[in-house]
Amino acid sequence: MFSVNFAIILPFIIAAFVPFIYRRFRFIHIGWFVMLVPITLFILLARLIPSVASGQTFTDTYQWIPTLDINFTTYLDGLSMIFGLLITGVGSLVILYSIFYLSTKESLQHFYVYLLLFMGAMLGVVFSDNLMVLYVFWELTSVSSFLLIAFWNHRKGSRLGAQKAMLITVSGGVAMLVGFIMLHTMTGTFSIREIISSISGFTDHALFMPAMILVLLGAFTKSAQFPFHIWLPDAMEAPTPVSAYLHSATMVKAGIYLVARFTPVFGGDQVWFWTVSIVGMITLFWGSFNAVKQTDLKALLAYSTISQLGLIMSLLGLGSVALHIGYSTESVIYTQATFAALFHMINHSTFKGALFMVVGIVDHGLGTRDIRRLGGLMALMPFTFTVAVIGSLSMAGLPPFNGFLSKEMFFAATVQISNADVFSLQTFGIVFPIVAWVASIFTFIYCMIFIFKTFLGPAQPEKLDKPIHEAPMGMLISPLILAAFVVGIFFFPNLLGNYILRPAMSSIYPTFGDAFNLTPSISAWHGVKPELLMTIGVVLVGAILYKILKKWKPIYGLFSQKYTFNTLYNNVLSLSEKGSGVVTRGYMTGFLKDYIAYIFGFFIIVVGGFLFYSGAFSMDISTNAPIRLYEVILVAVMAIAAFAMLFAKSRMTATLLNGVLGYSIAIFFVIFRAPDLALTQLVVESVTTALFLLAFSHLPDWKKEKTTIKTKWINGIISIAMGVLVMLIGLSVLNYNKFETISSYFEDAYELAGGANIVNAILGDFRGFDTMLEVVVLFIAGLGVYTMIKLKSEKGGDKE
């Protein structure tokens, strides 16, 4: 029986063995071995398609931290099946493509380890039912994508692009984490399925709206929605296989998955509807508008990806209105927007993955992606040209390609939603079809630029670094397979709709009953309807605007680079670096006395302030034992020794006075009937005093540094405040009884740890776990130091 946990863990296990296999089997490309992982998982998932299509789900649970309701629970349903197939299917083709794309001189073992880590993390995101586990994998996708984007780390652009992607997506992920915690606070569970089933009772909760916004921040940053889209173009510095995998089929779809998965939770709220729909529409338009002005093929595809992600996001927002209305004949019509989102998401993965690979072929073979240096490639690169035409026309929404079908459904959804009698859509809903139509015109234009500027027109061999030639068949197999899917889905769309899309609709609309009612029949010809007229208008207007492109393209020069989101990001980053430098130089003085003053001052202000504000200082000394005369004398001796230490003229004197304090504490242990502690204190104090005296005897005379009166007053105030605060905390703790004491747990020391003495059991057994972990930390640090020294010595040996 297939285990969903196995699907997640397998890439991580194989990633651990990749470096060893790479070293042992140099005669074979490591990519062939790595490719077996996604192929195996794809086959295993594909075998479950009939079962999932019939309504069956698959769940695995591993008890992780049950006391915190955090368990490694995975859930395979129709929605996660789509993403699982995309991650493994496209992943297989990308690895095949990378085998021929990357040189054997590259650090291949690192590349494939990063790729497997990312694949496992993405599978963890889409299969996780527990919010905390989902978050762990979510951030792991950011870390692994950072490594992949920065794979060519000798390039400054790669490093900066990876940094930007990391900062933006991780920031959104932290916001999402807070939203997840709010959901747990509301519902009492981290299980997504349980949250969906119980959320109806919490829609009026004070945390419902903040949780929604924070979850959307995580989704918008990951899926490059406006205004967080700026990281995606810079991420194109990654190798093309990475772009084809992360930025067309997987990572950027994680935000889409999150919105789709949480639509049953938040979808009935109008804030969700307007936020997701409007952000999606703005992203759709802004991405397509900016794609037209790009001169780098990868940058053009980056902005086109932003635009297409906005299209999918807006459809998910439009489809959520059905949850507000509730199940009815009218609401089923609006669910078709969600169906179109899922359909276009699959279509986008096919044609955009193929186009990225085409750009990789051009760049790899000719040494440039600059449109201004290209042209006339059709005759000498016929296979590449064919794939480019299929992918571009599909992206433009033309038949006979799958993009036409989902683009028509997109237009239909925007027209239908503009007539809905909710959320004031009859007044403002007309904006959706207008924006959709205008953005699609720009989409058509940049698709024509991709085809005509790159492959048609006169060739410019004098501007190229290499002669024009077709790619080797190994690099063509993957894009040709994707192109075949682009055409095949157009002719057999309902096969995809019935077995893949329909069960996913059941996941998004779990309360709507039979999912057959939510799955429209997909056909290329649906009559002369508004969506068909909109497509004809896109082609006509787009063709005209492309023809006169040189006349109106100067409008892009009207947008100043001083007022862009990229400039804002750079300014914020620069100010943060300068500000952190000022702060760091302010407190990193190099003097231990300053660091101690900062630590104690922070403790006094934060801890003392909070305890005072919360009224935690509460004490009752009436029930305490009476203070005896010899205890007063012992305290007086300690006070005199401590005070005299301030005026000691030598280290020897200070050390001896410090010893008085230590031995006095040992006497207190004897008085309070703790002879074992007293003995320990005496031994430790004797050893440390002797060591101090031995060490200080070899040091020069102690010359006290001259301090100002102001510094002495500050030090005195901090010292007194610290002492008073610790004393107040100690007295307050004696009377603190709001929680059950833990002493009852340690009463079972004999049964739990086999120790007849509770103190010994705590020190020798329970405390041993902490000590063991500390030893592990020291061991890891030692390995790191040894590795750095080893690497340095090896490099030195090479030089010699």
What pLDDT, on the 0 to 100 scale, is given for residue 500? Answer: 93
Does residue 344 contact residue 359 with C-beta atoms inside 8 Å?
Answer: no
**The one-letter amino acid at 3:** S
Q: How many CB atoms lie within 10 A of CB 676?
A: 12
Label residue 615 by pLDDT band (50, 70, 90). confident
- DSSP 8-state class, residue 700: P
Instruction: For residue 70, list its beta bridge partners.
Output: 65
State the average pLDDT over residues 710-715.
85
Sequential DSSP letters for 440-506? HHHHHHHHHIIIIIHHSS---GGG-SS---PPPHHHHHHHHHHHHHHHHHHHSHHHHIIIIIHHHHH
State the average pLDDT over residues 317-322.
93
Side-chain-side CA neighbours of residue 294 (13 Å): 25
What pLDDT, on the 0 to 100 scale, is given for residue 752? Answer: 73
State the average pLDDT over residues 264-291.
95
State the average pLDDT over residues 707-717.
84
386 Cβ contact list (under 8 Å, min separation 6)? 483
- Helix or strand run (H / E) with residue 75: strand 70-76
User: Interhelix angle for 208-222 vs 251-266, to 10°?
Assistant: 160
Does residue 134 contact residue 177 with C-beta atoms inside 8 Å?
Answer: no
**The one-letter amino acid at 213:** I
Q: Is the pLDDT of residue 734 over 80?
A: no
Reference 298, options 199, 370, 367; nearest CA is 370
Reference 212, options 137, 283, 268; nearest CA is 268
d(C-alpha 298, C-alpha 175), whole Å: 30
> Among 178-192, 458-472, 683-697, 704-718, where is mean pLDDT lowest?
704-718
End-to-end CA distance of the chain: 58
Label residue 800 by pLDDT band (50, 70, 90). very low
Sequential DSSP letters for 540-577? HHHHHHHHTHHHHGGGGGGS-GGGSHHHHHHHHHHHHH
State the average pLDDT over residues 87-106.
93
> Among 532-536, 674-678, 795-799, where is mean pLDDT lowest?
795-799
For residue 130, the SS3 value is: strand
Q: Is the pLDDT of residue 769 over 70?
A: yes
What pLDDT, on the 0 to 100 scale, is given for residue 697? Answer: 76
Return the C-alpha torsion angle 234, 125, 172, 94, nearest 10. 0
Label residue 702 by pLDDT band (50, 70, 90). low
pLDDT, tens digit, 9 for 90 and up, residues 135-152: 999 999 999 999 999 999
Does residue 305 contact residue 224 with C-beta atoms inside 8 Å?
Answer: yes
Does residue 399 contact residue 389 with C-beta atoms inside 8 Å?
Answer: no
d(C-alpha 91, C-alpha 38), whole Å: 6
Higher-confidence position of 773 and 315: 315
Distances, alpha carbon 20 to alpha carbons 14, 15, 25, 28, in Å: 10, 10, 9, 13
pLDDT, tens digit, 9 for 90 and up, residues 102-144: 988 888 999 999 999 999 999 999 999 999 999 999 999 999 9
Share of the chain above pLDDT 90, in %: 60
Q: Is the pLDDT of residue 788 over 60?
A: yes
pTM for the whole structure: 0.84
Does residue 284 contact residue 442 with C-beta atoms inside 8 Å?
Answer: no
State the average pLDDT over residues 141-168.
94
What pLDDT, on the 0 to 100 scale, is given for residue 378? Answer: 92
Longest dimension (CA), the chain: 106
State the average pLDDT over residues 733-759.
73
Distances, alpha carbon 56 to alpha carbons 39, 546, 742, in Å: 23, 49, 47
Q: Is the pLDDT of residue 446 over 80?
A: yes
Question: Is the bond preceding residue 458 a cis peptide, omega within 30 degrees?
Answer: no
d(C-alpha 765, C-alpha 755), whole Å: 9
Instruction: For residue 65, list its beta bridge partners.
Output: 70
Exposed e or buried b per residue across 501-538, where buried means at least 16 C-beta atoms within 10 angstroms of its C-beta: bbbbbbbbbeebeebeebbbebeeeeeeeebeebbeeb
Higher-confidence position of 702 and 559: 559
Q: Is the pLDDT of residue 55 over 90?
A: no
Residues for the chain: how many in total? 800
Higher-confidence position of 560 and 365: 365
- Whose tokens are 């924070």? That residue is 214
For residue 72, the SS3 value is: strand
Label residue 159 by pLDDT band (50, 70, 90). very high
d(C-alpha 196, C-alpha 261), whole Å: 9
Reference 103, options 152, 143, 150, 167; nearest CA is 152
Distances, alpha carbon 36 to alpha carbons 39, 122, 244, 250, 738, in Å: 5, 17, 19, 19, 58
Sequential DSSP letters for 288-333? HHHHTT--BHHHHHHHHHHHHHHHHHHHHHHHTHHHHH-SSHHHHH
d(C-alpha 448, C-alpha 442), whole Å: 10
Q: Is the pLDDT of residue 799 over 50?
A: no
d(C-alpha 601, C-alpha 613), whole Å: 17
Question: Is the bond preceding residue 227 a cis peptide, omega within 30 degrees?
Answer: yes
C-alpha 502, offset from chain centre: 29
d(C-alpha 470, C-alpha 377), whole Å: 9
What pLDDT, on the 0 to 100 scale, is given for residue 561? Answer: 77
What pLDDT, on the 0 to 100 scale, is given for residue 389? Answer: 97
Share of the chain above pLDDT 70, in %: 96
Mean residue pLDDT across the chain:
89
Considering Cα of 608, then 610, then 613, then 615, what sign does the dihedral take? negative
C-alpha 633, offset from chain centre: 61
What pLDDT, on the 0 to 100 scale, is given for residue 516? Answer: 47
Reference 449, options 312, 308, 553, 306; nearest CA is 553
Distances, alpha carbon 652 to alpha carbons 123, 692, 693, in Å: 64, 8, 6
Q: Is the pLDDT of residue 33 over 90?
A: yes
338 Cβ contact list (under 8 Å, min separation 6)? 260, 263, 315, 316, 318, 319, 320, 322, 505, 508, 509
Does residue 413 contact residue 320 with C-beta atoms inside 8 Å?
Answer: no
pLDDT, tens digit, 9 for 90 and up, residues 248-259: 888 999 999 999
d(C-alpha 149, C-alpha 11), whole Å: 19
Q: Is the pLDDT of residue 100 over 90?
A: yes
d(C-alpha 355, C-alpha 493), whole Å: 21
Reference 84, options 10, 191, 139, 142; nearest CA is 10
- DSSP 8-state class, residue 762: I
Label residue 513 by pLDDT band (50, 70, 90). low
Q: Token pair of 528, please?
A: 């002369």
User: Interhelix angle for 473-491 vs 329-366, to 10°?
Assistant: 160
State the average pLDDT over residues 536-564.
91
State the average pLDDT over residues 263-290.
95
Side-chain-side CA neighbours of residue 67 (13 Å): 0
> Among 260-274, 303-317, 326-340, 364-378, where is mean pLDDT lowest?
326-340
d(C-alpha 631, C-alpha 55), whole Å: 77
- DSSP 8-state class, residue 205: S
What pLDDT, on the 0 to 100 scale, is given for residue 704? Answer: 62
What pLDDT, on the 0 to 100 scale, is given for residue 798? Answer: 46
Considering Cα of 46, then 51, then 56, then 58, what sign does the dihedral take? negative
Does residue 448 contact residue 542 with C-beta atoms inside 8 Å?
Answer: yes
